[in-house]
Structure 1
Amino acid sequence: QGIRNSYWQEISFGDGFDVVPDPVDSRYGYTMSQQGNVQRFDHVTGDNYIVRPTPPDADTELRFNWNSAISQDPFDTSTVYFGSQFVHKSTDKALTWKVISPDLTTNDPEKQKQSESGGLSMDATGAENHTTILVIEPSAVERDMLWVGSDDGRVHYTQNGGGTWTEVTANIKGLPKGSWIPQIKASTRNKGEALLIANDYRRFNYTPYAYRTKDYGKTWTRIVDATDVESYTLSIIEDPENPNLLFLGTDDGLYVSFNAGEKWQKWTEGFPTVSTKDLAIHPREQDLVIGTFGRAAWVLDDIRPLRALAADATILNKEIELFSPPTAYQASYQQPTGSRFGADGLYQGENRKSGAMITYYLKEGKKAAKKGMGMKGKKEDSSDEKTEEKKDSVALTGVQKKDSVQFDFYDGDRLIRTLKYKTPEKAGFHRIYWGMDEKGADRPSRKVQTKKKESGGLDVKPGTYTIKMLYGDLEEETTITVKSDPRLEVSQTGINEAYANGKELESYMQTAADAVQQLAKSKEVAEKFQKDLKKEDDKKYKEQIDASKDITKQIDSITAIYLGKVDKRQGITRSKEMTVMQRIQIARRYVGSRKTGMTATEKQLMQFAKDDLQSALQKTNAFFAKEWVEYQTNMKSLDISPFKETEVFNLN
């Protein structure tokens, strides 16, 4: 699915491929492949050029890891760092480089025989390179402070931009000498604080290692061991807003901690047990973005409910909780590029579900929960044609007696939408998706309708809305902000016009639905008379039976004005007659798509719909005023008693 929107952080997918987009100019970024081959690219034109660091002199040979370290300075976006056995620094977006460190590896010649053998055969592609730098981590709170880790277990830092370097490797107690240091994450709030990930699986040691320092590496506290997770560690990230919330990537999948690493739980819902190489938190969307060794990117939308739990564990003791949702955007969507359906031949991940994302918590569900964590989501389709269930929940414990969860949406004091769901089977965190729409009009139907849930209608205007969650006698309330797609030039005048005209068209549809429903109920009455009279005496009541057949045909004929004739042909069929509903739907599509305001086109289409509806209503009213009254009078004149003559029963 990738990292959505314009902001990117570095995500390592393994296999010698990293992507580091420019946070200032999103048109440009850096790609890196094995042997330290870095290119700066323009994703609009496809143009790219080589920016691979060069050695400081002709006699020095650079060693680059398969996954070389690359990072951008948080204080100067033109400054880029890259790792060989040295730290290279560029202040002109990688056009030129200078070395700012000594060799920060062991420089062990026994580990530098890649040119002699790549394994069973000569296959020296770069994966065999050793004694190289794996991570360069600039501090976001201290200028010129860098952490550096290598693939042979050495850890250094500098506080003066590379002028001097301090090694802290020996201070990491319990870590086997020579272990890989694939990640160091500098604190975003405290100087001298960092998280460190190490692993030693290449020597058949699958023990997990993760440490924290708060004093520039003088001391390290181990926060992950074999009692916490099942396999070796690969990545870690601390929530920038709540340090109690940590995410950990391992070869066994994703883990989460709500108490700064004292206890870890595996995330089991939605995310598989895969090698989890890298983690990033989108600073605007508050999404957790995960890079896997399988070159997949997976996004956990909106971690703020988890952040709230990390801040206040007593949430788990509440019967219900409704969390403050993120801003919901009335986004426009683009069909994938290609010659019509060309994108069908390309791999494509799942996008974030459309609609406003709303997270809630239930202390108890319908059944006791099993171990594990995740989010379970339900999406309310705005067209009201389907309810889609997606699996995303923090599973807890409990048995739930209440049978439904209801969400009421208010514009001020006006109730505009009600969504009702069956109580989830599991307790814990759950999600629904509101289509940012109001309650809509009924849709005309040839059958007598029994509504089970309300129809979706017009999109709401941008603004702030109140959400009330009702669960038995419990109630929670929050607000949500809805905004227009920021990429579009949408005026308030245009929004108001589209809304007002949409409401008028909804009134047309509701009037049509009411008229057709009355016709459907009348047809049902006539069909019942026909059936009952046939059963009573088809010869005696032949005239009334024929009258029932005739009135049914008349009803079908009027219904066809609204909905068209029933077409029993197979395949994709089309009637040449324009129906009332077609008129209304065409006008609705035009009005709903006009983001910049109404034109003469929409006004004309609305007039067409109004004229056809008015004509249909006149025919409908005339039928009920004459033919239906006559039919009613005829049927009421029948002296048909439901009571039959009874017999006297005796034993012989």
Structure 2
Amino acid sequence: IIGDDGGAQVTYDGGDTWSTYHNQPTAQFYRVTTDNHFPYRIYAAQQDNSTIRISSRTSSSVINDKHWESTAGGESAHIAIDPNNNEIVYGGSYDGYLTRLDHSTGHRRAVNVWPDNPMGHGAEDFKFRFQWNFPIFFSRHDSKKLYTASNHLHVSTDEGHSWATISPDLTRNDSTKLGSSGGPITKDNTSVEYYCTIFAAQESSITEGLIWVGTDDGLVHLTKDGGENWTDITPRNMPEWMMINCIEPDPHDAATCYIAGTKYKTGDFNPYIYKTTDYGKSWKKITNGIDREHFTRAIRVDLTTPGLLYAGTETGMYYSNNDGEQWHPLQLNLPIVPITDLALKNNNLIAATQGRGLWVLDDLDLIKQSLKSNGNEDILFKPEDVYRMDGRQNKKPKGAGKNHYSGVNTYYYLNDYDSKKDTITISYITTDGDTINSYSTHSKEKTNKLKDLMKGSNLHNWNMRYPNAKKFEGMIFWWGSLSGSKVNPGEYHVSLNINGKTQDKSFSVLKDPRINISDADFVEQTTFINSVNSKVTEAHEAIIEMRKIKAQLKAFQKNHKIEVIDNKISEIDSTLSVIEKELYQTKNKSGQDPLNFPIKLTNKLAHLNSLVQVGDSRPTKQMYAVRDELTGMIDAQLAKYFLIRDEELKVLNNLIRENVEDFIKY
């Protein structure tokens, strides 16, 4: 067994062959970012392996090899995605190597700021010192401005064809730290060890040209005019030679910024997070509640809630809901692992780890809503708005990544719960007040029964569908769906009823932005599916009734031998059997039997349901034609059944009353 930067591998033949890395979440990532694609993609560089671009969710049940690919840059890269075209990606590497990759063509080119190869040289020999992990980012105000950093800040407005240096040396430029690496026997000059470099930089999302810069030798600088003038704003109470690992301009206040730094390389494992609210004139250390040996690498501010902060440390996650005054663990199911970077996207928190891959925390609104509760009451949380799209979550994905959940996740908190006394009901309702589907702890339908409830936090996942068509015992279909239609895009409500007391929250079902389909087409598709399921349900309920009637007839014949009644029973039983066999193939007893025994009317009609739900689109004219033809044939059989049920059974019951009454003895 070997373990290296890619993971672990096993050989059973003395090293001739080895097992794969692609069955374990062991990637060691440096930085993480996202794009504006739908669904958004995650970009990160992994130690001793490629950079990657991976889908945050898929239309299947897992996220696996086919959902990721290599992207620009090398193992240590910061990655920047062109905001105007997410297929164009810039990525760094050591030696100041910077590449531009067009994913649409596969074309790649080098766009180094200063393409002077530093291999074998100490840092003192070079005009620009690029760190192993040098920053790259696009302006949040001018999508053509691409920034990167050495010991200076540089900007390009022509996709890296030319670069302007817009800062002086913003590091300590200490000559004693710029010599060759390694020795005394052999040196190790790959530029990986270069010091006195810019390690973190970012532009304010509020004010154009307001750029904050931090270095690996412990300095912080600010420009308010895009690099014309710079101010040293290094916190006075911060230990010297701090590596500024992360800089986070506040998205709610231009004067506020946060920095996370580390000194673990000098044996100091304390967390260091600082905040300024006056453009760096003063700083406050904000690490209360973080373990004193959990040094911090990343700090992020929630995009919608001022004062809600997230911190990634050497041994896990923390959050603060009071602007850093107090921190709390946010570990949940995240392994105890170094968090190297954090990103926020669409109300998700993405964590890059050093050894356990990438992790996503969905629906940050749950944290925000829970902060408003005292914890001593029943709570229905507002569900996150969801997209009407394919995909589901395999709970045991083995070597693959766990996919985003499908449907609506309804979280609720029960202050107390007694399964014997309490009745809990969750209903999903249209804005007109019509109940689409309802689930209860006391439901007689298995598919609508709430299970495994407990005191505390609970989750119900709704598949966004109307009720399924009726199924009967032993039914075997070949490619025929009973699934209810998905609800149309729009606003809906969920209600939580606890022993008669109801809470209500609204949420939206959103259209998949990749699909060109009108609201009218959605309505037409839903109406078609509901009409198909309604007729299938009617036919299957008739089959269930017919089987009950036949069972009663058989029981009567067993106990009573009266010729006139027996003849009538045989006549009715035979007719019911013929009707059922036209509606459903009664010879099918296993999944492969339809290969020998042709499917019948309800299976054929349910097949239309399968076809129209292949994707979001209105039904074809041929689907309507086949539906109408099959529906007419089903109606003809149902008419025969209703005649027997409503007329012939009356005749039979009269015969029974006339002939059986005298059999009762006292």
TM-score range, shorter chain: 0.7 to 0.9
Residue in structure 1 matched with residue 601 of structure 2 by the alignment: 580
Q: Given that residues 20 and 29 in structure 1 are in contact (C-alpha distance below 8 angstroms), is that contact kept between their aligned partners in structure 2?
A: yes
Q: Does residue 161 of structure 1 match 2:188?
A: no
Q: Given that residues 36 and 52 in structure 1 are in contact (C-alpha distance below 8 angstroms), is that contact kept between their aligned partners in structure 2?
A: yes
Map 1:336-347; keep pairs closer than 5 Å.
none
- In the alignment, the residues of structure 2 paired with residue 38 and residue 101 of structure 1 have an alpha-carbon distance, to the nearest angstrom, of 19
Q: Given that residues 288 and 325 in structure 2 are in contact (C-alpha distance below 8 angstroms), is that contact kept between their aligned partners in structure 1?
A: no
Residue in structure 1 matched with residue 357 of structure 2 by the alignment: 296
1:105 to 171, 185, 190: 171
- In the alignment, the residues of structure 1 paired with residue 356 and residue 646 of structure 2 have an alpha-carbon distance, to the nearest angstrom, of 70
Q: Does residue 353 of structure 1 match 2:353?
A: no
Amino acid of the structure 1 residue aligned with 2:297: L
> What do residues 86-126 of structure 1 show as CA deviations (whole Å, max 9, x unaligned)?
22222223221122223222333443445545x99766554
Residue 71 of structure 1, CA deviation: 1.6
- In the alignment, the residues of structure 2 paired with residue 552 and residue 251 of structure 1 have an alpha-carbon distance, to the nearest angstrom, of 75
- In the alignment, the residues of structure 1 paired with residue 400 and residue 574 of structure 2 have an alpha-carbon distance, to the nearest angstrom, of 51
> What do residues 256-308 of structure 1 show as CA deviations (whole Å, max 9, x unaligned)?
222222222222333222222222222xx322222223473322222123233
- In the alignment, the residues of structure 1 paired with residue 503 and residue 181 of structure 2 have an alpha-carbon distance, to the nearest angstrom, of 66
Residue 248 of structure 1, CA deviation: 1.1
Residue 427 of structure 1, CA deviation: 1.4
Q: Does residue 50 of structure 1 match 2:110?
A: yes
Q: Given that residues 277 and 293 in structure 1 are in contact (C-alpha distance below 8 angstroms), is that contact kept between their aligned partners in structure 2?
A: yes
Residue in structure 2 matched with residue 383 of structure 1 by the alignment: none
Q: Given that residues 286 and 301 in structure 1 are in contact (C-alpha distance below 8 angstroms), is that contact kept between their aligned partners in structure 2?
A: yes
Residue 494 of structure 1, CA deviation: 2.5
Q: Does residue 319 of structure 1 match 2:378?
A: yes
Q: Given that residues 289 and 328 in structure 2 are in contact (C-alpha distance below 8 angstroms), is that contact kept between their aligned partners in structure 1?
A: no
Q: Given that residues 309 and 319 in structure 2 are in contact (C-alpha distance below 8 angstroms), is that contact kept between their aligned partners in structure 1?
A: yes
- In the alignment, the residues of structure 2 paired with residue 405 and residue 179 of structure 1 have an alpha-carbon distance, to the nearest angstrom, of 55
Q: Given that residues 183 and 197 in structure 1 are in contact (C-alpha distance below 8 angstroms), is that contact kept between their aligned partners in structure 2?
A: yes
> What do residues 298-327 of structure 1 show as CA deviations (whole Å, max 9, x unaligned)?
2222212323344xx34534432332x443
Look up the SS of the partner of 2:582 in the other structure: helix
2:439 to 419, 438, 446: 419
Q: Given that residues 584 and 601 in structure 2 are in contact (C-alpha distance below 8 angstroms), is that contact kept between their aligned partners in structure 1?
A: yes
> What do residues 375-429 of structure 1 show as CA deviations (whole Å, max 9, x unaligned)?
xxxxxxxxxxxxxxxxxxxxxxxxx96353422413403222213334732514x
Residue 22 of structure 1, CA deviation: 1.7
Look up the SS of the partner of 2:221 in the other structure: strand
- In the alignment, the residues of structure 1 paired with residue 35 and residue 605 of structure 2 have an alpha-carbon distance, to the nearest angstrom, of 36
2:98 to 38, 53, 77: 38
- In the alignment, the residues of structure 2 paired with residue 405 and residue 291 of structure 1 have an alpha-carbon distance, to the nearest angstrom, of 39
- In the alignment, the residues of structure 2 paired with residue 523 and residue 547 of structure 1 have an alpha-carbon distance, to the nearest angstrom, of 12
Deviates most, 30-39 or 572-581: 572-581
> What do residues 56-102 of structure 1 show as CA deviations (whole Å, max 9, x unaligned)?
99973432222111122122111121111222222223221122223
Q: Does residue 23 of structure 1 match 2:83?
A: yes
Amino acid of the structure 1 residue aligned with 2:388: Q
Residue in structure 2 matched with residue 437 of structure 1 by the alignment: 465
Residue in structure 2 matched with residue 306 of structure 1 by the alignment: 367
Map 1:135-154; keep pairs closer than 5 Å.
135-154=200-219
Look up the SS of the partner of 1:519 in the other structure: helix
Q: Relative to structure 1, is the Cα distance of residues 569 and 464 closer, same or farther in structure 2, using a 3 angstrom cutoff?
A: closer
Q: Does residue 597 of structure 1 match 2:618?
A: yes
> What do residues 460-515 of structure 1 show as CA deviations (whole Å, max 9, x unaligned)?
23332233221223211222233332322222332333233323212211211211
Aligned length: 581
- In the alignment, the residues of structure 1 paired with residue 553 and residue 332 of structure 2 have an alpha-carbon distance, to the nearest angstrom, of 54
Map 1:111-510; keep pairs closer than 5 Å.
111-114=177-180, 116=182, 124-169=189-234, 171=236, 173=237, 175-225=238-288, 227-228=290-291, 231-282=294-345, 285-294=346-355, 296-310=357-371, 313-314=372-373, 316-323=375-382, 325-332=383-390, 348-364=400-416, 402-420=422-440, 421-422=450-451, 424-428=453-457, 430-446=458-474, 457-510=484-537
- In the alignment, the residues of structure 2 paired with residue 24 and residue 640 of structure 1 have an alpha-carbon distance, to the nearest angstrom, of 91
Residue 521 of structure 1, CA deviation: 1.7
Amino acid of the structure 2 residue aligned with 1:36: G
Q: Given that residues 289 and 327 in structure 2 are in contact (C-alpha distance below 8 angstroms), is that contact kept between their aligned partners in structure 1?
A: no
TM-score normalised by L of structure 2? 0.76
- In the alignment, the residues of structure 1 paired with residue 132 and residue 574 of structure 2 have an alpha-carbon distance, to the nearest angstrom, of 77
Deviates most, 227-236 or 193-202: 227-236
- In the alignment, the residues of structure 1 paired with residue 258 and residue 41 of structure 2 have an alpha-carbon distance, to the nearest angstrom, of 17
Residue 198 of structure 1, CA deviation: 0.8
Q: Given that residues 210 and 222 in structure 2 are in contact (C-alpha distance below 8 angstroms), is that contact kept between their aligned partners in structure 1?
A: yes
- In the alignment, the residues of structure 1 paired with residue 487 and residue 526 of structure 2 have an alpha-carbon distance, to the nearest angstrom, of 8
- In the alignment, the residues of structure 2 paired with residue 73 and residue 9 of structure 1 have an alpha-carbon distance, to the nearest angstrom, of 20
Q: Relative to structure 1, is the Cα distance of residues 291 and 470 closer, same or farther in structure 2, using a 3 angstrom cutoff?
A: same
- In the alignment, the residues of structure 2 paired with residue 594 and residue 432 of structure 1 have an alpha-carbon distance, to the nearest angstrom, of 25
> What do residues 558-593 of structure 1 show as CA deviations (whole Å, max 9, x unaligned)?
434333234456867624413122211122234445
1:73 to 139, 160, 169: 139
- In the alignment, the residues of structure 2 paired with residue 467 and residue 114 of structure 1 have an alpha-carbon distance, to the nearest angstrom, of 65
Q: Relative to structure 1, is the Cα distance of residues 255 and 34 closer, same or farther in structure 2, using a 3 angstrom cutoff?
A: same
Q: Given that residues 289 and 326 in structure 2 are in contact (C-alpha distance below 8 angstroms), is that contact kept between their aligned partners in structure 1?
A: no
Q: Given that residues 369 and 381 in structure 2 are in contact (C-alpha distance below 8 angstroms), is that contact kept between their aligned partners in structure 1?
A: no
Map 1:510-589; keep pairs closer than 5 Å.
510-526=537-553, 558-568=579-589, 574-589=595-610
Q: Given that residues 439 and 456 in structure 1 are in contact (C-alpha distance below 8 angstroms), is that contact kept between their aligned partners in structure 2?
A: yes
Amino acid of the structure 2 residue aligned with 1:97: W
Residue 212 of structure 1, CA deviation: 0.8
Amino acid of the structure 2 residue aligned with 1:574: L
Q: Given that residues 228 and 264 in structure 1 are in contact (C-alpha distance below 8 angstroms), is that contact kept between their aligned partners in structure 2?
A: no
Amino acid of the structure 2 residue aligned with 1:330: R
Amino acid of the structure 1 residue aligned with 2:403: N
Amino acid of the structure 2 residue aligned with 1:197: A
- In the alignment, the residues of structure 1 paired with residue 306 and residue 333 of structure 2 have an alpha-carbon distance, to the nearest angstrom, of 24
Q: Given that residues 587 and 597 in structure 2 are in contact (C-alpha distance below 8 angstroms), is that contact kept between their aligned partners in structure 1?
A: no
Residue in structure 2 matched with residue 647 of structure 1 by the alignment: none
Look up the SS of the partner of 1:437 in the other structure: coil
Unaligned runs of 5+ in 2: 1-24, 26-32, 48-75, 119-124, 441-449, 476-481
- In the alignment, the residues of structure 1 paired with residue 314 and residue 565 of structure 2 have an alpha-carbon distance, to the nearest angstrom, of 79
Q: Relative contact order: is structure 1 or structure 2 higher (C-alpha 8 Å, sep ≥ 6)?
A: 2
TM-score normalised by L of structure 1? 0.77
Q: Give identity over the alignment, percent.
A: 25
Residue in structure 2 matched with residue 373 of structure 1 by the alignment: none
Q: Relative to structure 1, is the Cα distance of residues 238 and 595 closer, same or farther in structure 2, using a 3 angstrom cutoff?
A: closer
Q: Relative to structure 1, is the Cα distance of residues 412 and 121 closer, same or farther in structure 2, using a 3 angstrom cutoff?
A: farther
Look up the SS of the partner of 2:484 in the other structure: strand
